[in-house]
Structures are given as structure tokens and as C-alpha cells.
Amino acid sequence: MADYRKMWESLGLNLEAHDQLMDILPPTYGTVFLNQENRPEAMEYFDFVFSEVHGQRIQELLDHKAADGKVIGAFCVYVPEEIIRAAGGICIGLCSGADIGTAQAEKVLPRNICPLIKSFMGFKLGKVCPYFESCDMVVGETTCDGKKKAFEILNDYVPVHVLETPHMKREKDKALWRSEVRDFLTEVEGYTGNKITLDSLRQAIKESNDKRRALLRLNELRRYDPAPISSKDCLLIEQIAMYDDVSRFTAQVNALCDELEKRVQESRGVTEPGAPRLILSGTPMALPNWKVPHVIETSGAVIVAEEMCTGLRYFENLVPEEGENIEQLVEAIADRYLDINCACFTPNEGRMKKLVTLAEELKADGVINCTLAFCDPYLVEANRVEKVLKGHHIPLLNLETDYGQEDSGQIKTRVEAFLEMLDK
Amino acid sequence: MADYRKMWESLGLNLEAHDQLMDILPPTYGTVFLNQENRPEAMEYFDFVFSEVHGQRIQELLDHKAADGKVIGAFCVYVPEEIIRAAGGICIGLCSGADIGTAQAEKVLPRNICPLIKSFMGFKLGKVCPYFESCDMVVGETTCDGKKKAFEILNDYVPVHVLETPHMKREKDKALWRSEVRDFLTEVEGYTGNKITLDSLRQAIKESNDKRRALLRLNELRRYDPAPISSKDCLLIEQIAMYDDVSRFTAQVNALCDELEKRVQESRGVTEPGAPRLILSGTPMALPNWKVPHVIETSGAVIVAEEMCTGLRYFENLVPEEGENIEQLVEAIADRYLDINCACFTPNEGRMKKLVTLAEELKADGVINCTLAFCDPYLVEANRVEKVLKGHHIPLLNLETDYGQEDSGQIKTRVEAFLEMLDK
């Protein structure tokens, strides 16, 4: 690995805290990923990307900035990345998947708050994330109370533009959201100094759609038994999707799919045929949060879909590419994003329908609904999930967890009991 | 007290659980209210109303229903009561200020959720609240994640109409909210079977404004030193405002104010002159939640304003009465409600300005910002309150509490330390 200390220093990172993080990540990665059996060879690219998570990609961002490009961070799959790229910017999904800078975060946030929110504040105040420190601006949204209000505080440290995601999906909400996306385009143009053209927007939409198509192709291959790839590897890919170069990433996912198609033909998979097949649903699992999939897959089951923001919600809908002017394309973008099934909406029936359809299509034996602690939208919606799945006789296990490792044993016990109950 | 058991039975209350509640309330009320010294005589009416909290007022609601009237419940000061009354309905603020039916509530809700939400679900599932059981319909809103999502569950047990309160207060948000209020009017007309006329709406606006004017007059009198009335009594009045008959309540508040004006002339108050003067800010204190004001006022301080939903936010703005048609009046109503300073908005600068102005106008020595546990909007906003008050050198004590009594001693210690620090 190249020596990136000077680069980190130039970003103002707290090198000591950053070293601690970088000391933990590789061994954890080894245990969770490299120890897997029958892993596809094309995972090599993603292993490399992860090994360079604070290295090569950061250098690319800094090169982009040196050429007067802007880097814009986001914390939610509702942020329309097409618009940022159409203005020559790079959109980075900031991860917030580890307990970092907790003491600093708790100086400005309540103790009992969603770990993802505490994490992003900790990353910022602790100065340990080179992505965060590379961002010229952050785009927030109003999807949940905790983030909505925490962005007011974050704005003390980095400029935050907040998109108002509505609470419902009626025509008037769609109108509000379209107006938010239109205003965002103007904001991004002003911020980057680059006018968005019909061509640049169309090109950005196509690139994002290509990425989504590649991820959909990958997910489509998981319907086979034995599943040709683990959920852990898919989750990693979905996490990397949020910060990697779009075209390069897309090409690599497609190369992986080529390999997986051969595996399917040969009936080769990551488990024995007949292993219990589960759908993992719930709140996002931001990098490097792999705890629950690791517990599930080392318990003998295979996860065949992530009905999560780090998963299907990120790529399941495409933006129609046919718009004849910028206005039409912007509306198509807005409508595509409003279709995402987030628990921030009331009601959120799309998610219930999706879970039932997925379970049927993927021949899943059950659903694990995993929610981050203190996340009211998903924790309360767990009741709706339970009601709908019970109505369809689909077994469900509800889990609530955070970024600590203390509950791994307890989760394993519950997952194993759930698998036994499935009687596979 | 009349025997209301038959009435409670007819409402389907769980009499055993209800008895337990009614066994606790009177002695608590005695300790908190009747033990106060120098209490205004006109508090007699409010003592009577409270002694009949599940009696006479419920009988009035049932009489109203027997005459084909509708009773509509609400959980938030954003629900426009004028519209309900203009259609001949009665609007009841459902209280949710006590730990009731917790075990039942936790069957459908997460354990770590705001006590107010757990309380309303517990009241409903436990069948202990005759107001809730009298409601033909409940009006919810989207002010916080917990309530927004809990209303989906509550709708399994009672019809809930959810008003979409926006996240911001820009022109487009105002347009969305106005449309919500217009649709609500149509909904209420359909539900009650009564057409709202210009006259009935104007009359309802005037009555609500009269109530607000009376409460403002009461609050105006609290600026004097010694304060002529305690915060506990004012809070009780603000709580009763949510369910009492509007005209009768207004007359009684005005009668109380007549008495208080004499007290002011005679320099009579509930404390010695010079007692520390505090502003209480934060989340609503729903009936029968009097814990924190009781602790504060028995520690020698006097609270001179409640910057809360059970307080100023409920009555500080009037609806302009001049509209020439229903549409204009509805817009005036919508705009008045959108002016309320709730932490559900981002940003919520109105609250910060209000706190600073109140502290100056009421010559307050400090602010106690009291938030219900797990309430993300207010708990995160506490950071903004701290920043602004520090900038104005206004002492602040942040408290986080729930409906249990276990932390009373700890709160008392912290309040006493705060008062010592004020050095009054």
C-alpha cells in the first residue's frame, strides 16, 4: 500500500484516531470476507477497492478537486447523484457505519440516538474520514427526525444543503419533491459553477442507470439455488457502489456477473443446495457494518436479497432516459427517487408489497428485519412488516442492533433458533 | 362525585384498569395543586373540572354524540380545532401524559420510544381513557417520526386522518400545508355531515381566538414580580384548555385574570418577591404530567412561561378574523398554525428568537429545557437552544425525563444546583 500519510495530513485528519481505525479494518475485513469459501474470483477488484478505501479513491477525489471539480457528500439514497455528476461533480455516499468519535458526537447529540447519526457526527468531529474531509458540501434530507435535526448542527462544520423529502407520496407531495429536485439542480450548478446541459444530464442518468442495471443483474443471479454469491459480498459491492467511480464500478460488477452466470450453469454456489434462503430487510448497513450478515451467513443460511438502502432500494428503479428537455429529465429523476420504499413515508405499503413479492420470487424461507437502535421509522414500521408477513405466512425475525459487537452472540443465538424453526 | 360507572362501562372501558388510574389521580392532584400556598380563588373552577375529568365532561361529550354530534381527537397543537367546531364537532386534545397500558403498548411499539407515544397507544389498547373511547375519529399529523408511524398502527383501532405537516416553512411548504388544511375541511364536513359556512367558521375562529386571548392575558400577568400565579396552575389550565368547553373555559380564565389583576395591584403573589424566575421550554407536558414544574416550584423558583405545546405554542398566535370567504379564512387558519415553533421544523429559528425575547420581557433568570426521552427533534434541537442562549448569556439547564417518578430526586438535585448557580 502506498504511503498516504501526507495526503491524510493535508486533509486535516486526526492521524492518531485514523490510525486506530485503519488498524481495525483490515483484520475485520479478513475475518468477514477473505475467510469465505467458494468466493467468486471477480471479488478481487472489490477487495482491492476496499484495501485502498482511504487511499487510491481519495487520491482520485483530490485530483478531481485540484482540477476545480467539486466533491459532494450524501447520507441517503434520496440524493439524486445524476444531478451532481451532470454538473461535473462527484457524489460520495458518506458511510457512517462504525462507532467512531462517539465521545465527541455526544457533546452535540443526545446519547440515545441512532448509531448512524452518531457515527457521521463522530466521523466529522473526530476528523477520521478522508471522504468527509474531501467534501466541499453535504446534501442532507428530511427522511428522519434525527438526521433532519442533526444536519442543523453539521452545518456548523461543513455547508449542508437539505432536500425536503415529503412524508407521503400523493400528487401534492410529488409536486413538492419535484420542486426540491429542480431547486437542487440550480444549487448544484451554482456550487460547481457548471451549467447542466441536456446532454450532460442524459449522460449522467445513463451512467447511473447502467450501474443500477449491473446491480440488478447481480441480484437477479441470486435467485438460483445454490446462490452463486454471498450476501456479504453483495453488501460490500452495494457499499462500494456509493463511493467508487461509476463507470469502472459498473464494468467490474458486470464482469463479476459474467463469472456468476457460469457458476449458475455449473450449479456452483457459496453454500450447499437447499441452504435456508433469507431476505434481509431494514435500515441501511453502512460501511463497515457487516455484523448481521456475517452472523447469518456463518450460521448456515444464505441471504438472497437486501431490502435496504444499502441494497435494492438503491438500485431497483431506473430513471426513464427518454426526456426531451432538462425539465422532463428532472421530473423523471424526482419521480424515480420518490418511488423508493423508505419507512419515512406514511404509509409505506410499497415496502410491504416488495417484501412479499421478493419472498415469492426468490423462494425465500423467511425474512430478517434488522433495525438500528432508536430508529423510530423502522422500529415502528416493524409492526406493519410483522402484520403483512404473518398474513402471507412468511416467517419473520425482528432484530434491533447497533454498531457494537457486544450483541453478536445474542444475535447468533436468535438467528440459529430462527433457522431451526424454519426446519430446513 | 356522581356514579359514572355505567357511563364508563357503556364506553367499553376496562373498569379495573380505569379504577387504578382514578385511585392515583386525586391524591397526586392534592399533593401537587391543593398544597400550594396563596393560590388564587378562581382556581376552584379548574379544580372542579379536574375532579370531574372522567365524569361531567365525558357526559357532555356523550350528550353531544347522542344528538348526532361528532367528537374528534387530536394529539398536537397543529390540528385546527376551528374547523372541527365550525362543522359542529367537538375537538378533544387527547392527553397521553401517564404510564398506562405500557405492556400492551410494547406489543405493538418499540420499547425505546417517546413516552407520550407509548402512553397514547397504552391508553387506547388498555381502554382506560373515556375521551379516547368517545372519539369517532382521531386526527394525526407528521410532526415526528414516532407519531407519524404509530398512527398507522392506531388506525387499526380507530379511524385516523393524518395531516401532513411539512418539514420547513418556505412558500412551497406553506402551499402544501394550506392544501392539507383545505382537504381537512372537506374531510371534516364529510365526517360530520355538516357543511361549514362562512358564519360558522368565522364564529369558531372567534371562539378559539377568545380562548387564546384569555390565555395570553393570563400569561401577560405572569410578568409581574411576585408572580400572581404558579406555573403548575397555569400548566393545569393549559392542559384543561385542550378538552374543556371553549366558551365556558374562556370565561373562567378571564374571571381568574380579574382576580390576578387585583393581586398584582396589591403585590400579592405565590412566592416572595425576588424569587428566581425561570422559563420552562421543551416538549409538551400532557395531563397528568406535572413532575418537573412541581419539582421546580417546590425548590423555591417560579416559572413565568411555558414555551411548550402545553403553553405558549398553543395560544400565542391568533387567526386573523377578517377573511371575506371560506377560502381566505382557511388560509388564515393554515398560516396561523404554521407559525407555531415546533422542533419538527428545520430550522426552527422562531423558537430560538422566542426564548430570547421571553427571557428579556419576563426578566427571567434562566431557562429549563425539558425534553421527553427518545424525542429526537427536541433532544437534538437542545444543541441549538444551548448555542443561542449561551450567545445571549442566558443560563440554561437541559433535562431529559419520562413519565416515571424515579428520577424526581435527581431532577430536584439538578434544579437546586442550577438555582444556586443563578445566585438569586
Report the residue of B161, B167, B398 to disrupt the A interface, i.e. the one with the largest count of A CBs within 10 Å: B167
**Coil vs helix vs strand at A289:** coil
Residue B8: is its pLDDT beyond 70?
A: yes
CA-wise closest residue to B153 among A383, A398, A341:
A383
Measured between CA atoms, the residue of chain A closest to residue B173 is A176
Nearest CA of chain A to the CA of B149: how many Å? 6
Residue A424: is its pLDDT beyond 80?
A: no
- List phi, psi (to 5°) of B404: -80, 165
First CA to last CA across chain B, in angstroms?
44
Nearest CA of chain A to the CA of B206: how many Å? 31
pLDDT (tens digit per residue) in A174-192: 999 999 999 999 999 999 9
DSSP 8-state assignment for residue B319: P
pLDDT (tens digit per residue) in A41-93: 999 999 999 999 999 999 999 999 999 999 999 999 999 999 999 999 999 99
pLDDT (tens digit per residue) in A203-234: 999 999 999 999 999 999 999 999 999 999 99
Residues of B in contact with A108 (CB under 8 A): 383
Contact B380, A153 (CB under 8 A): yes
Residue A1: is its pLDDT beyond 60?
A: no
Residue A74: count of CB within 10 angstroms of its CB: 22
Measured between CA atoms, the residue of chain A closest to residue B349 is A152
CA distance B423 to B395: 11
Residues of B in contact with A161 (CB under 8 A): none
Residue B35: count of CB within 10 angstroms of its CB: 11
The answer to whether A377 contacts B149, with C-beta atoms less than 8 Å apart, is: yes
Residues in chain A: 424
Per-residue pLDDT band at B423 (split at 50, 70, 90): confident
Residues of A in contact with B384 (CB under 8 A): 152-153
Residues of B in contact with A112 (CB under 8 A): 112, 373-374, 379
Can you give the pLDDT at residue A2?
65
The answer to whether B376 contacts A149, with C-beta atoms less than 8 Å apart, is: yes
Please report how the helices A43-51 and A246-265 are oriented relative to each other, as an axis angle in degrees rounded to 10.
140
CA distance A407 to B339: 45
Residue B133, Cα to own-chain centre: how many angstroms? 20
The answer to whether A167 contacts B176, with C-beta atoms less than 8 Å apart, is: no
Nearest CA of chain A to the CA of B104: how many Å? 13
CA distance A177 to A174: 5
pLDDT (tens digit per residue) in B55-77: 999 999 999 999 999 999 999 99
Per-residue pLDDT band at B424 (split at 50, 70, 90): low
Report the residue of A107, A120, A141, A145 to disrupt the B interface, i.e. the one with the largest count of B CBs within 10 Å: A145
The answer to whether A164 contacts B146, with C-beta atoms less than 8 Å apart, is: no
CB pairs under 8 A between A and B: 118
Render the burial of A219-250: b for 16+ CB within 10 Å, e for the rest. Answer: bebbbbbbbbbbbbbbbbbbbbbbbbebeebb
The answer to whether B164 contacts A167, with C-beta atoms less than 8 Å apart, is: yes
CA distance B202 to B50: 30
Nearest CA of chain B to the CA of A346: how many Å? 7
Can you give the pLDDT at residue A218?
98
The A-side interface with B (CB below 8 A) comprises 108-110, 112-113, 142, 144-146, 148-153, 162, 164-168, 172-173, 176, 179, 343-344, 346-347, 373-374, 376-377, 379-384, 400
The answer to whether B381 contacts A172, with C-beta atoms less than 8 Å apart, is: no
Measured between CA atoms, the residue of chain A closest to residue B109 is A380
CA-wise closest residue to B150 among B185, B119, B174:
B119
Nine-digit cell at A362?
A: 426468490
Residues of A in contact with B347 (CB under 8 A): 152
pLDDT (tens digit per residue) in B140-175: 999 999 999 999 999 999 999 999 999 999 999 999
pLDDT (tens digit per residue) in B117-133: 999 999 999 999 999 99
Burial of A91 (0-12, 13-18, 19+ CB in 10 A): buried
Nearest CA of chain A to the CA of B190: how many Å? 20
Nine-digit cell at B335?
A: 398560516
pLDDT (tens digit per residue) in A242-256: 999 999 999 999 999
> Which contacts qualify for B321-329: CB closer than 8 Å, 24 or more apart?
B321/B202, B321/B205, B321/B206, B321/B209, B323/B202, B325/B198, B326/B185, B326/B196, B326/B197, B326/B198, B326/B201, B327/B182, B329/B198, B329/B201, B329/B202, B329/B205
pLDDT (tens digit per residue) in B358-407: 999 999 999 999 999 999 999 999 999 999 999 999 999 999 999 999 99
Tell me the HSE value of B182 on the side-chain side, using a 13 A CA sphere: 11
Residues of B in contact with A172 (CB under 8 A): 176, 179
Report the residue of B116, B147, B148 to disrupt the A interface, i.e. the one with the largest count of A CBs within 10 Å: B148
Please report how the helices B198-220 and B231-240 are oriented relative to each other, as an axis angle in degrees rounded to 10.
170
Nearest CA of chain B to the CA of A377: how many Å? 6
Can you give the pLDDT at residue A307?
98
Report the residue of B346, B398, B402 to disrupt the A interface, i.e. the one with the largest count of A CBs within 10 Å: B346
Can you give the pLDDT at residue B95?
82
Residues of chain B above pLDDT 90, percent: 98
- The ipTM assigned to this model is 0.97
> Mean pLDDT across the stretch B272-287?
96
State chain B's mean pLDDT as an integer. 97
Render the burial of A298-332: b for 16+ CB within 10 Å, e for the rest. Answer: ebebbbbbbbbbbbbbbbbbebeeebeebeebbbb
Measured between CA atoms, the residue of chain B closest to residue A180 is B172
Report the residue of B172, B376, B378, B388 to disrupt the A interface, i.e. the one with the largest count of A CBs within 10 Å: B376
Contact B115, B136 (CB under 8 A): no
Nearest CA of chain A to the CA of B43: how many Å? 38
The answer to whether A377 contacts B164, with C-beta atoms less than 8 Å apart, is: no
Cross-strand partners of B74: B93, B139
Residues of A in contact with B149 (CB under 8 A): 343, 346, 376-377, 380-381
Residue B1: is its pLDDT beyond 80?
A: no
Render the burial of B51-66: b for 16+ CB within 10 Å, e for the rest. Answer: ebbbbebbebbbebee
The answer to whether B145 contacts A344, with C-beta atoms less than 8 Å apart, is: yes
Nearest CA of chain B to the CA of A153: how many Å? 8
DSSP 8-state assignment for residue B195: -
Contact B344, B146 (CB under 8 A): no
The answer to whether A146 contacts B380, with C-beta atoms less than 8 Å apart, is: yes
CA distance A301 to A419: 8
Nearest CA of chain A to the CA of B92: how many Å? 24
CA distance B297 to B318: 30
Can you give the pLDDT at residue B215?
98
Measured between CA atoms, the residue of chain A closest to residue B177 is A172
State chain A's mean pLDDT as an integer. 97
Residues in chain B: 424
Can you give the pLDDT at residue B2?
65
The answer to whether A162 contacts B109, with C-beta atoms less than 8 Å apart, is: no
Residues of A in contact with B350 (CB under 8 A): none
Contact B410, B379 (CB under 8 A): no
